[in-house]
Structure 1
Amino acid sequence: MDNVSEFWYIWVDTGGTFTDCLAQSPTGEISRVKVLSTGRLRATVSMVLAQDQLVISCSTTLPDNFLVGANLIASTTGIQVGEILQHDIRSGKCQLRRAMDHQLCSGELLELDFGMEAPVLAARLITQTPPERPLPRAAFHLATTKSTNALLERKGDPTAFVVTKGFKDLLKIGDQRRPDLFALNIDQADPLHDLVFEFDERMDAHGDVLKPFDDEAFHQLSDALLQAGFTTVAIAFLHAVQNSEHERKAREILQGKGIRHISCSSELAPFVKILPRAETSVVNAYLTPLMERYLDGVESALSGGDFRIMTSAGGFVSRRDYRAKDSLFSGPAGGVVGASTIAHQCGEGRTIAFDMGGTSTDVARYHHGFDYQFEQRISGVRLMSPSLRIETVAAGGGSICGYGADGFFVGPHSAGASPGPASYGAGGPLTITDVNLLLGRMDPGLFGIPARIDAARQAADCVYQSIPRERISDLKIDAMLQGLLDIANERMADTIRGISVREGYDPKEYAMTAFGGAGGQHACRIAEILGAQRILFPADAGLLSAFGLQHARMERFAQSEVLKCWDALEPQFDTLVKRLEEQAVQALSDEGFEKDKILLARRIVQVRIHGQECSESIDWSPGQDLAAMFRSRYLNVYGYYPAEKPIEIVTLRVIAATEKIPLKKENFSYQGKAQSVRTIQSYVQSEWQQIPVFRREDLAAGEFMKGPALVQDAFSTMCIDLGWKAIVGDMGTLRLERICASPPEKRSDGPSMQFELFTQRFFSLVKESGFMLERVSISTNVKERLDFSCALLDAEGALIVNAPHIPVHLGAIGLCVRKLLEEYPMNEGDMVVTNHPAYGGSHLPDVTVVSPAFATSGELLGYVANRAHHAEIGGIRPGSMPPDARHLGEEGVVIPPTYLYRRGEARFEALEVLLSHSTYPSRNPKDNLADLQAQAAANRKGIQTLARLADANGAQTVKNHMIALKEHAAQLLAKRLKVLEYGNYKAEESLDDGTLLKVCIHHSKQRFQFDFTGTKLSHEGNLNATPAIVNSVILYVLRLLVSDSIPMNEGLLQQVEVVLPRCLLNPPFSADPEHCPPVVGGNVETSQRLVDLLLKALRLAGCSQGTMNNVIFGNESVSYYETVCGGVGATNEHSGAHAIHSHMTNTAITDPEILEMRYPVRLHRFAIRKGSGGKGDYSGGDGIVREFEFLAPVSLSLLTQHRVEGPYGMLGGHPGQTGRQQWIKKDGRTQELDSICGVEISPGERLILETPGGGGYGNAKENT
């Protein structure tokens, strides 16, 4: 039969390691195939007959002559062996075109390269079509990670970026945060674009034209762009969402010049925030040419029929409507669609999709409908695009396992498809796949591709031998392997908590659908960690993303950014919904679908409390009470509802879709116990034992088995653990139920493995607390700038672990808790709040909330605390950071230690009185109280998590691991100090007003001491610091000195002495704020200069900008505060980073469009200050230039440093340039402003802020 006349349905998912394919033949039969995503097959040498003849075996079913023309590649070396001239399908004999270039041996692994894209290879195999013949006609459905991999590997096309004048460095600066809080050598990812073109046009925040579009000027820009060789362009103009006319004109001119690939931000991401919108346009432009070539290559191999591409949102689009930015998560989306289909098939309306593949694990929550997200981050890039809410963790079957400087690790790096796991025989490292194989959690005899268990053992032994003997204790290699699995399971369970518990959903109420090549091997243990009781393991578990494509629909989104309060919008809401419904339906109708067969699948409303940044997704239908639904949702997630605050509608989205494929219900009726035909040695409960192995294809509907047991096919394995029972459904799904709790495991993995697990658990606790605080807060400083920190402390109040937040907070929190405990005992249900510097506070806007955490038994476990910067806390100037305060009382409301909750009962009334009726009261006490509610919610989150941890492992075990974390930090510091020469390390630094800071670090065998004797007695202004700030600085510098990736905790201080005489770093505080020194600059500026001082003494690096460049402005209506990035100092192996925060802060900068929408200001320039870093063998990083125009009368305060003397260079490196600030008055006159100053600004006046560069390291050459 001529197969061109046949019609097939083909579904292909190309992942990072494997490409999965399902197909339905013209006769209705379903076929399956899996190939490597490199477009290759694996084979084994059976026999070498001659130099040009050999016999190979391949597990994939092949048609006659399929291998003719394929190139043989030696897996271990990557050397090309030769081209196949003839192949006999029955004997496996191959005749090569010429003698082999590489000597092969029997048993050696080969790869067969066909020179075609993996989806085409899969389609040819599944239809049994040799390369020389055309494929049959087919409806071809594709999900692919091609664009994702290109983004991760930076393999897109050369791209030009056109942006509003003044913002050429927007994507280089980003949000100004450094990726690693404790890295002196900061690696900054290069932007995707190759060249930036600024264009002089401008809209205001309302979309009104400030600078008209100059057609002639843009023609000139286009010519320059063409001359530079660009054919791919991304455009992002400020406030283009409010008025897209300028972007539209730019597109028309570029198209007229013949440029094909143009991505406009207002079309691709019509939402406020220039940074993620611009990044989205650049990503789309960067990937579009590559994806067009790739899709052309796939489509050209087809012989007609529909060609549809999966999007990240779980629906199909046609080739015409495909956009590269919309398919980055298309493969995982297919898996979620498949998991939801299986769940409904099995009678489950709620499921957690658990997709563990070769490179990573993707998890998602399904609750009678998909959960969406509309902004994602991938490879450091923010992306605005509809996507299923999928969380990814770098722990897949190919995740590399080992032991390094920071202990045991699993991932984040993967062995990928090449070389792959060690057991693939291509020289790969130890991976999770190998660990499962070695522990008997899969049967190598049933593995889909040849497996080399000897190579896996060798890789495991290499890891074991790399462990320092003092860390091993009595750890055996089998226990090490089990421990590595436990680490991976803990990380994956934590990711599932992020899409369930964090959002207010209990995993116990969900069935877990496990799939992917490795999902079934880990599902039982992860379900146990989460408390889930049911697991579904689909018949096509190893190919479920392709199965999901079979059940996905054509979809179209219509969306509108609303940004209006509900009370004002409600009368017009139905009309707005109707308009979007018509748009979505029309989009599908334009694809050829009949309107009466198009469904309005979802209406998703993003709702938030007015003033908050994070919103909740509400699935709304006509007739429902949207406000009541939001109140219920908010209360469920956060535990309280701020009734006095109005609610705001952020966005409205309508999804139109084609009809669903009807589903049959799967039947699970017990018929009898399954009988296994083979067994395998497996490591169960820390012992080796024989367990049954079931070939999946041998199992009949209704058969059941109890764990421990394996169920395996060529594509996936289900490891049924002890305490679980499984039954086979009549459609092939395995349904597992937990029949009893697993007995306590006889652990043999030793303290080192348990240490890694509890470190992960503690870190997860504070991270989740921080996420809660960010979501619920009102203050811009918390929700946008992320100026907060969360910490876990032990029962003595010592810092144990912190989330990667703000260093100046973290070292101070322990001292704060201990000070409070001296006078304020805390019982269960208590929360204490303070901002007083005498009690470990830093400055008044930083408000600390402390809570004790108890086990269910009533035993004190420790404390959970957070510190958040309130945008307004009173004082003589708006923003509560007055440069001219004479005493503490003028800086704002002083909150002495006060019970926020007493035995669970709220006590906000007294605090409200204090905030509203102090001498200099808060200008916005309602926001203060709302943020305190958020801080309380964050602490409650941490308390609950710690209690659960104690319940599961024992209170004493939890406390022991807190001690272990401190001891580990102390040991690492001791190890580092052994290589630091004994002696006195001295340094002096002067503040901009000449005030002296002085330190002598005395290092001997007996002690390591920081002595600040000689520092000036007091500061006449506000640069007085506190012992808490000094503690933070010392802890931070010690953490830099250790350099290993450990949580910053006070174990680092166990061997450290601090001599801190009465001076500006330790001023006296009385009960009366009017008799206390001002400190607001001590926290933000003196802290930075202290880091400069200690790094100078230890000669670790050139000086970074040494300031936070605090900008505060406001009036009676608004208050705004930001810290601004600068240059980083160079080290002896790395140049300093440009335009990024350093040392004691890491707050984000407010997006320019958000800034202009919410505040009476216009941002004219935000750019890197080229050449401001000091020269050296390694040069310091450059600072930035930031230019504001004020649109209303405001009071402006500046707290800065290094305006007099530039940041020092180290060992001959030149200093960085000093910063400066200029006030441009209405009449054009310019006034230089002091480091610390306050001025009254009139509308139309400007501030130009130039931040310092970092110091260089090593002798600077004149020509550098």
Structure 2
Amino acid sequence: MPETVSPAVPEIAIDPTRLEVFRNYLAGVAEETWSAIKRCAYSLNIKERGDCSAAVFDQHGEMIALPNAGVPLHQGSMEGLVEEIVRRYPEETIQPGDIFITNDPYSGGATHTPDYCCVAPLFGDHGRIVAYVANVGHHADVGGRVACSQAADNESIFEEGVLIPPVRLCHAGEMIPEVFEIICHNSREPQDRRGDVAAHIASIRAGLRRLGQILESMGTERFLAYSAALLDYSERRMRSLLAALPDGRWEAEDYLDGDGVGSGPLRFGLVMIKEGGTLTLDWSDVPPQMKSSRNIPLKALRATCFAVIRSLLDPGMHLNGGVNRVVTYVAPPGSAVNPVHPAAVAERATPCQVLADITATCIGQMIPERAIAAMGAFQGWAFTGIDPRTGKTYANYESIAGGLGATTFSDGIDAVRGWPAGSMNPPIEAFEQDLPVIVRRYELRQDSGGAGRFRGGLGMRRDLEIRGHETRVVAYAMRQVVAPPGVHGGMPAPKARFVLNPGTPKEKALPVVFTNLPVDCGDVISCETPGGGGLGDPRQRPRELVERDLASGLIASESARRDYGYDPAATPTTQVSTAKESLR
């Protein structure tokens, strides 16, 4: 791929030190924009889970800054947003104070309908647009056939809630009430939408205010020159990093549990080619688009792969579009990783986790010391009913974290969302205050990490008791059929599962996905998430680490004996050398 050159700007000498300061200024704008939407939001999903993100774009729509916080998948939600605004609205028709909003995955913004994206321009000298500030938030319910607008058995985008094309939410600084009311009226929780959309507006204005201060201090021409230079430098840095790595071709595969509507496991294959300073990710070996909502928009695929590439190649990599210039994605239109309208896409996040594992496997083949085992995919569920405390309809979405895979130098991290997610586990106090439920169990799941020289991170168990009403539950999950694999001799992690009324005579194992399952007052529904896969031979794990895990309750004595060959009577000097022989 030829090196990209940013559009011409007036000749201004670029000082490297000032460029780094400028980069951090922009990152600060993105961080402040993200912080503002999280702090101002009304819904549990945004204010407590942090299911939101922000970005700064240049005048051409290329991303020039992302926050370190936020959700990596949301990068895809904002990709192409500015280009679509420019295509629909000539610059001379846009005024200061205009804010645009969309949630349509097929109209330039969002990767599924619950992600509302907002964007607004910053004007410089002579009324020119010099940059844009954007944010995105996952709204728990935007209408559609099921609560929280997500169900694996959705067959088209029209089942997934109201579709808002890129339209003005504010004009010349004033909110357009008709657009605002359409968004709120189409949700099962209009009061939450009112608060969250207002948070979008406040966040955008905070970002514009801070970015405007930078523009004022630099002047328009210098601001534009440094924006272009930042992207060019990030591209050169990425090319240089790749050029230092071996050329080659690597292949990996993994499986989705199924399409969510009855199929068996579905194979996804990747070919990664590194040549000079370029990287190609060829996703041609995937199924055709599915008649379910597990399709993955191309923007979501790119954001997922970017998160993995950044983490494994260069965690200090600049978070902007310059990096993307050197990576080519091959994704056939009409495939599961590049669906065409009107394919459903609501549940794109769960299969994206498997795509992330596949990408990481290829990078681990290219750079063995960066190998990492598969992560334990988060499990998603949504509840709706009439809150007996208020008499109003509620709809709550939650994704419950699994464990990260083991690396070549450490155990996996317990109970966190890995690639490409990033939202947090909501605190119990806020959860129980907002919803008519009681959290009966919230704990690490013993023995859920794959055994290995380095153990996979543990998943979680979360049990909810329904209080004072009947609710309907929608679930969408991954790694309940195909376990998270280990690498280099490490063992896979135990699979995830949903259970109704665990440990009682009414206990019932639930399927991987289900829609509108009735759960009665007093029933308990349980989610057990998978841990990450292990790395390396478990029998080579140091005895003191096995004993530490036993003492902490992370593993049981039986699994210590079975998987690690642990013998409490053995001396430390003989444990590793005799472990294999003693259990043959």
CA distance in 1, matches of 2:290, 2:251: 22
Aligned equivalent of 1:987, options 248, 252, 271: 252
Aligned equivalent of 2:429, options 1147, 1153, 1163: 1153
The Cα shift of 1:1106 comes to 4.6
Task: Sort the Cα spacing of 1:1197 and 1:1106 in 2 relative to 1 into closer, same or farther, 3 A.
Answer: same
The Cα shift of 1:805 comes to 0.8
CA distance in 2, matches of 1:1008, 1:795: 27
Aligned equivalent of 2:379, options 1091, 1105, 1109: 1109
Task: Sort the Cα spacing of 1:914 and 1:769 in 2 relative to 1 into closer, same or farther, 3 A.
Answer: closer
Which amino acid is 2:433 matched to? M
1:1248 corresponding residue in structure 2: 526
The Cα shift of 1:924 comes to 2.3
TM-score (norm 2): 0.82
- For 1:394-438, what per-residue CA distance to the aligned partner results, in whole angstroms no more than 9, with x for missing partners? xxxxxxxxxxxxxxxxxxxxxxxxxxxxxxxxxxxxxxxxxxxxx
CA distance in 2, matches of 1:914, 1:814: 22
Which amino acid is 1:1240 matched to? P
Task: Sort the Cα spacing of 1:780 and 1:1207 in 2 relative to 1 into closer, same or farther, 3 A.
Answer: same
Aligned equivalent of 2:312, options 1016, 1019, 1041: 1041
CA distance in 1, matches of 2:203, 2:433: 29
Matched, 1:866 2:135: yes
Task: Sort the Cα spacing of 1:1174 and 1:913 in 2 relative to 1 into closer, same or farther, 3 A.
Answer: closer
The Cα shift of 1:1108 comes to 2.6
The Cα shift of 1:882 comes to 2.6
For the residue of structure 2 that corresponds to 1:1163, the secondary structure is strand
1:823 corresponding residue in structure 2: 88
| Conserved? CA contact 2:376–2:531, under 8 Å | no
Matched, 1:1220 2:497: yes
| Conserved? CA contact 2:98–2:169, under 8 Å | yes
For the residue of structure 2 that corresponds to 1:1111, the secondary structure is strand
The Cα shift of 1:879 comes to 2.1
Matched, 1:793 2:57: yes
The Cα shift of 1:1225 comes to 8.1
Matched, 1:1263 2:565: yes
Which amino acid is 2:287 matched to? K
| Conserved? CA contact 2:189–2:394, under 8 Å | no
2:339 corresponding residue in structure 1: 1067
Task: Sort the Cα spacing of 1:1155 and 1:905 in 2 relative to 1 into closer, same or farther, 3 A.
Answer: closer
The Cα shift of 1:1012 comes to 0.8
Aligned equivalent of 2:449, options 1173, 1176, 1187: 1173
What is the correspondence of 1:901-916 to structure 2 with a 5 Å cutoff?
A: 901-913=170-182, 915-916=184-185
1:854 corresponding residue in structure 2: 123
CA distance in 2, matches of 1:1189, 1:1246: 4
1:1234 corresponding residue in structure 2: 511
What is the correspondence of 1:843-992 to structure 2 with a 5 Å cutoff?
A: 843-855=112-124, 857-913=126-182, 915-916=184-185, 921-992=186-257
CA distance in 2, matches of 1:890, 1:971: 44
Which amino acid is 2:306 matched to? L
TM-score (norm 1): 0.39
Larger RCO: 1 or 2 (CA < 8 Å, sep 6+):
2
For the residue of structure 1 that corresponds to 2:15, the secondary structure is helix
What is the correspondence of 1:219-238 to structure 2 with a 5 Å cutoff?
A: none
More strand by share: 1
Q: Which runs of 5+ in 1 are unaligned?
A: 1-746, 1070-1075
Which amino acid is 1:1079 matched to? V
Aligned equivalent of 1:1081, options 347, 352, 355: 347
- For 1:985-1033, what per-residue CA distance to the aligned partner results, in whole angstroms no more than 9, with x for missing partners? 1111110011222211111237421111021011222101111101211
The Cα shift of 1:802 comes to 1.0
- For 1:143-179, what per-residue CA distance to the aligned partner results, in whole angstroms no more than 9, with x for missing partners? xxxxxxxxxxxxxxxxxxxxxxxxxxxxxxxxxxxxx
2:558 corresponding residue in structure 1: none
Which amino acid is 2:231 matched to? K
For the residue of structure 2 that corresponds to 1:999, the secondary structure is strand
| Conserved? CA contact 1:766–1:791, under 8 Å | yes
- For 1:367-420, what per-residue CA distance to the aligned partner results, in whole angstroms no more than 9, with x for missing partners? xxxxxxxxxxxxxxxxxxxxxxxxxxxxxxxxxxxxxxxxxxxxxxxxxxxxxx
| Conserved? CA contact 1:1129–1:1181, under 8 Å | yes
| Conserved? CA contact 1:997–1:1016, under 8 Å | yes
For the residue of structure 2 that corresponds to 1:760, the secondary structure is helix
What is the correspondence of 1:419-430 to structure 2 with a 5 Å cutoff?
A: none
CA distance in 2, matches of 1:1051, 1:874: 37
1:1031 corresponding residue in structure 2: 302
CA distance in 1, matches of 2:269, 2:328: 16
| Conserved? CA contact 1:1102–1:1208, under 8 Å | no
CA distance in 2, matches of 1:969, 1:1106: 32
- For 1:711-754, what per-residue CA distance to the aligned partner results, in whole angstroms no more than 9, with x for missing partners? xxxxxxxxxxxxxxxxxxxxxxxxxxxxxxxxxxxx99x72211
Which amino acid is 1:934 matched to? A
Which amino acid is 2:237 matched to? L
1:1008 corresponding residue in structure 2: 279
| Conserved? CA contact 2:252–2:270, under 8 Å | yes
| Conserved? CA contact 1:1173–1:1254, under 8 Å | yes
Which amino acid is 1:922 matched to? S
For the residue of structure 1 that corresponds to 2:538, the secondary structure is coil
For the residue of structure 2 that corresponds to 1:837, the secondary structure is coil
| Conserved? CA contact 2:414–2:458, under 8 Å | yes
2:556 corresponding residue in structure 1: none
| Conserved? CA contact 1:816–1:1028, under 8 Å | no
2:33 corresponding residue in structure 1: 769
For the residue of structure 2 that corresponds to 1:973, the secondary structure is helix
The Cα shift of 1:966 comes to 2.1
1:435 corresponding residue in structure 2: none
CA distance in 2, matches of 1:1086, 1:1031: 13
CA distance in 2, matches of 1:897, 1:771: 24
Which amino acid is 1:1034 matched to? C
| Conserved? CA contact 2:238–2:277, under 8 Å | no
The Cα shift of 1:840 comes to 3.5
RMSD: 2.2
Task: Sort the Cα spacing of 1:1176 and 1:1199 in 2 relative to 1 into closer, same or farther, 3 A.
Answer: same
1:780 corresponding residue in structure 2: 44
- For 1:736-776, what per-residue CA distance to the aligned partner results, in whole angstroms no more than 9, with x for missing partners? xxxxxxxxxxx99x722112211221111112212221222
1:757 corresponding residue in structure 2: 21
Higher CA-based Rg: 1
For the residue of structure 1 that corresponds to 2:148, the secondary structure is coil
CA distance in 2, matches of 1:966, 1:1234: 47
CA distance in 2, matches of 1:833, 1:1152: 32
CA distance in 2, matches of 1:1103, 1:892: 36
2:103 corresponding residue in structure 1: 835
The Cα shift of 1:1227 comes to 7.5
CA distance in 1, matches of 2:183, 2:44: 22
CA distance in 2, matches of 1:963, 1:1134: 39
| Conserved? CA contact 1:1001–1:1011, under 8 Å | yes
- For 1:161-198, what per-residue CA distance to the aligned partner results, in whole angstroms no more than 9, with x for missing partners? xxxxxxxxxxxxxxxxxxxxxxxxxxxxxxxxxxxxxx
CA distance in 2, matches of 1:944, 1:858: 17
The Cα shift of 1:914 comes to 5.5
CA distance in 2, matches of 1:884, 1:1168: 30
Give the aligned length.
Answer: 506
Task: Sort the Cα spacing of 1:1263 and 1:751 in 2 relative to 1 into closer, same or farther, 3 A.
Answer: farther
CA distance in 2, matches of 1:1025, 1:844: 13
Matched, 1:998 2:269: yes
CA distance in 2, matches of 1:959, 1:1093: 38
The Cα shift of 1:915 comes to 4.7
Task: Sort the Cα spacing of 1:1005 and 1:1134 in 2 relative to 1 into closer, same or farther, 3 A.
Answer: same
For the residue of structure 2 that corresponds to 1:1118, the secondary structure is strand
2:547 corresponding residue in structure 1: none
| Conserved? CA contact 2:462–2:527, under 8 Å | yes
Matched, 1:1206 2:476: no
The Cα shift of 1:972 comes to 2.9
| Conserved? CA contact 1:877–1:1195, under 8 Å | no
